[in-house]
Amino acid sequence: MSQHDKNKATVKKGLLVAVTLGAILWGVVPAFAEEQSSSPSNNVALQVTSWLLTAPYGTFKAAYAIGGSIVGGIVWIGTGGDTEKAKAIWRPSITGDYIIRPENLTGQRPLHFVGKGE
């Protein structure tokens, strides 16, 4: 197996893990938000939950961003320095949220794993 094939496999695995984590969060966040009230204990629970979820989420987001940076660089080199084509990969992979905030868990603020293209 060539190094290129290994890199592609690694990126695919990272994307699969990121999509799986996103699907899990998609199901957990609305359920958690429904139970939310304004008591101090719930605020602490939201903060702790956001910290705990940020650890794996941030790791996968960082891996996705690094993978996107590498793929964007390959595209940039492969297209003879076409920055716009590379940015089409860099922007969505590098931008977005790297941490989960309590507002994301309550539904007050959307969580963006993939950033906006423009």
Tens-place pLDDT, residues 3-18: 666 666 665 666 566 6
Tokens 């957990």, located at residue = 28
pTM, rounded to two decimals: 0.64
C-alpha–C-alpha distance, residues 52 and 13, integer Å? 23
The answer, yes or no, to whether residue 57 has pLDDT greater than 80, is: yes
User: pLDDT-based confidence at 110, cuts 50/70/90?
Assistant: very high
Note the pLDDT of residue 18: 60
Angle, in degrees to the nearest 10, between helices 3-34 and 40-78: 150
User: pLDDT-based confidence at 42, cuts 50/70/90?
Assistant: confident
C-alpha–C-alpha distance, residues 38 and 58, integer Å? 27
Note the pLDDT of residue 116: 83
Report the mean per-residue pLDDT for the chain: 82
Domain boundary assignment for the chain: 3-106
